[in-house]
Amino acid sequence: MSHRRAVATMVLATLLWSIAGVVTRHLDSAASFEVTFWRSAANALAMAALLAWQMGPTALRRSLRQGGAVLWWSGLGWGVMYTAFMVALTLTTVANVLITEALSPLLTALIARFVLRQRLPLRTWVAIAMASGGIAWMHASHVAGGDLRHLVGTGLALLVPLCSALVWVLMQVNARRAAEHQQDLSAAVLIGAVLSAAVSLPLAWPLQASAHDMQLLSLLGVVQLAIPCAMAVAAGRVLKAPEASLLGQLEIVFGVAWTWLGTAEAPTPAVLGGGLLVLCALTANEGLALWRSRATAARG
């Protein structure tokens, strides 16, 4: 894959990721945990078929059977992300969830600082401070107004970037191992989908989703998760990590735009202002990292 095609693939992946909010706003009767169950179940089936095609059924079973702690902890992280994201969307606005989710690169850097002893440049500390200020600005009105529903939704949304950061650090821990001790973590996405569906089913019972709801949620499981995740993995083999992370932030822009155009849900001035501050912090941090990487390569 050429670099230009990798960029286009990553942009398309973020476009597909971004449809979750607007699709959930057109559901008929499915509640929060039922929304999570059907989406995760559809994703599990799609990922099982995809991984069986890529790895072969025997290799997939062996990977699951022989997977170590890193694989299963990664799977648990994916499961929490799947569950928290969808439940949060039913409690607060799409913009709140997506902008909160965008903290993942900064939280990854912060956790890697303490777990992997990686030094953080000054620009990342500044970006963390700016993003924290943006999040506080976004949710100050909910705190002042005692809006418990939005606060719970935001708390759940925070689990997404936190678990994403933990999964990324686990991937780095795995990559640092000797070749014979490294694990294939592809199956972690499947494990996460199965865990999310299994945990959500008892909480969603009795199921009340209409046929229309099941079609939309199956669409999310396959088109909004399985396919773009596979596309992002393929693009990630070509793109540098800062570049991929920077392109991934387009999900916020696309997601808020879809919801704004496709529903009556419009972001408040506080969300727009705080979200802009978060986006500026992320863009500046990842953009400077990419520029420095290219400058170093050019000098080399």
Model confidence band, residue 80 (pLDDT cutoffs 50, 70, 90):
very high
Model confidence band, residue 198 (pLDDT cutoffs 50, 70, 90):
very high
The amino acid at residue 285 is N
| Look-up of token digits 């702690």 | 69
Q: What is the mean pLDDT of residues 30-36?
A: 81
d(CA 82, CA 93): 17
Model confidence band, residue 194 (pLDDT cutoffs 50, 70, 90):
very high
Surface-to-core class of residue 175, CB atoms within 10 Å of its CB (0-12 exposed, 13-18 middle, 19+ buried): exposed
Please say whether the beta carbons of 156 and 84 come within 8 A: yes
The larger pLDDT score, comparing residue 186 to residue 58, is at 58
Dihedral sign computed on CA atoms, order 161, 252, 223, 206: positive
Model confidence band, residue 248 (pLDDT cutoffs 50, 70, 90):
confident
Instruction: Point out the least confidently predicted range of 42-46, 97-101, 170-174.
Output: 170-174
The larger pLDDT score, comparing residue 234 to residue 80, is at 80
Name the domain count of the chain.
Answer: 1
Is the pLDDT reported for residue 219 higher than 90?
A: no
Residue 105's pLDDT is 76
- Name, of 48-57, 100-109, 147-156, the range with top average pLDDT: 48-57
Number of other residues whose CB lies within 10 A of the CB of residue 297 = 9
d(CA 280, CA 246): 11
Number of other residues whose CB lies within 10 A of the CB of residue 211 = 8
Q: What is the mean pLDDT of residues 100-105?
A: 79
Q: Which of 189, 19, 163, 28 minimizes the C-alpha distance to 89?
A: 19
Instruction: Point out the least confidently predicted range of 127-131, 161-165, 173-177.
Output: 173-177
Is the pLDDT reported for residue 142 higher than 70?
A: no
Q: Domain for residue 41, yes or no?
A: no
Number of other residues whose CB lies within 10 A of the CB of residue 167 = 24
Q: Domain for residue 46, yes or no?
A: no
| Look-up of token digits 């990664």 | 74
Residue 264 belongs to domain spanning: 57-206+240-299
d(CA 41, CA 130): 37
Instruction: Calculate what percentage of the chain has a pLDDT beyond 90.
Output: 4
Helix, strand, or coil (residue 266): coil
d(CA 28, CA 159): 27
Q: Domain for residue 127, yes or no?
A: yes
Q: Domain for residue 10, yes or no?
A: no
Model confidence band, residue 178 (pLDDT cutoffs 50, 70, 90):
low
Q: Domain for residue 50, yes or no?
A: no
Mean pLDDT of the chain, nearest integer: 80
Model confidence band, residue 199 (pLDDT cutoffs 50, 70, 90):
very high
Instruction: Point out the least confidently predicted range of 104-113, 149-158, 249-258, 261-270.
Output: 261-270
The angle subtended at Cα 158 by Cα 153 and Cα 164, nearest 5°, is 135
The larger pLDDT score, comparing residue 172 to residue 13, is at 13
Instruction: Calculate what percentage of the chain has a pLDDT beyond 70.
Output: 89
Surface-to-core class of residue 177, CB atoms within 10 Å of its CB (0-12 exposed, 13-18 middle, 19+ buried): exposed
Residue 141's pLDDT is 61
Residue 181's pLDDT is 63
Q: Domain for residue 276, yes or no?
A: yes
Residue 12's pLDDT is 92
Which H/E stretch holds residue 262? helix 250-262
Q: Domain for residue 219, yes or no?
A: no
Q: Domain for residue 37, yes or no?
A: no
Residue 242's pLDDT is 63
Residue 143's pLDDT is 58
- The long-range contacts involving 240-244, CB below 8 angstroms and separated by at least 24 positions, are 240/290, 240/293, 242/286, 242/287, 242/289, 242/290, 242/293, 243/7, 243/286, 243/290, 244/10
Residue 24's pLDDT is 83
| Look-up of token digits 């929060």 | 32
Please say whether the beta carbons of 154 and 139 come within 8 A: yes
Model confidence band, residue 182 (pLDDT cutoffs 50, 70, 90):
low
